[in-house]
Amino acid sequence: MDNSTPRLLLGLAVLVLAIALVVGLAVTPYLHGQPILLTPDNRQVKEYLDTYAAHLAAAEKEHARLAAMLAPTRPGSAASGVFDLSQQARGSQANLDAMARVIEQTKVPGGLAPLDQALRAALAAELNFADQVLTFVGRGDETTRADALSAGDDAQVKLGDARTALTNTLR
């Protein structure tokens, strides 16, 4: 064994440790600026928060789609426009309903029940908004439009509450 073998092994060990450090820094989750150890409980909380954020973003997207359907109708709009709007509203409603079913079956980690309740309230308001939009699309009068706008405002507030609950939890 010559003199270069221990240096080669030492160099290889330093290289492996450097690679492990870089990978560790890249994948380590942080909460409040501090790295967290991914115990099974912490992993469950992290996965729940990630899923919560994804559901909230999807609900906000559906809200925007529904709100766009409340634009005042143009004179002479074709019946096919009503059918297309109805299909879009039903699609948003189906997406929201599917999301609500998934959330209903989601196991909520301890201490995050208020977050779950905020998301459920937001989805219930969004489903009501979708119902009101469908009514407006079918009738097309100003009364049902006003009802839908009111439901949309309520849903927007509940989405904001759910977003605030998430932000406060992540602080």
pLDDT per position in the chain (171 positions), as tens? 567 788 888 889 999 999 988 888 777 777 667 777 777 887 888 889 999 999 999 999 999 999 998 876 554 454 457 888 889 999 999 999 999 999 999 999 888 999 999 999 999 999 999 999 999 988 888 899 999 999 999 999 999 999 999 998 877
Extract the runs of DSSP E, i.e. beta strands, from the chain.
Answer: 30-31, 34-35
The reply to whether CATH 1.10.10 applies to domain 38-170 is no
pTM (2 d.p.): 0.76
Helix, strand, coil shares, percent, the chain, to 5: 80, 0, 20
What does the domain layout of the chain look like in residue ranges? 1-36, 38-170
Residues in the chain: 171
Dihedral sign for Cα atoms in the order 119, 124, 125, 127: positive
From 29, 33, 53, 32, select the one nearest 43 (Cα to Cα).
Answer: 29
Q: Rounded distance, CA 61 to CA 130, Å?
A: 13
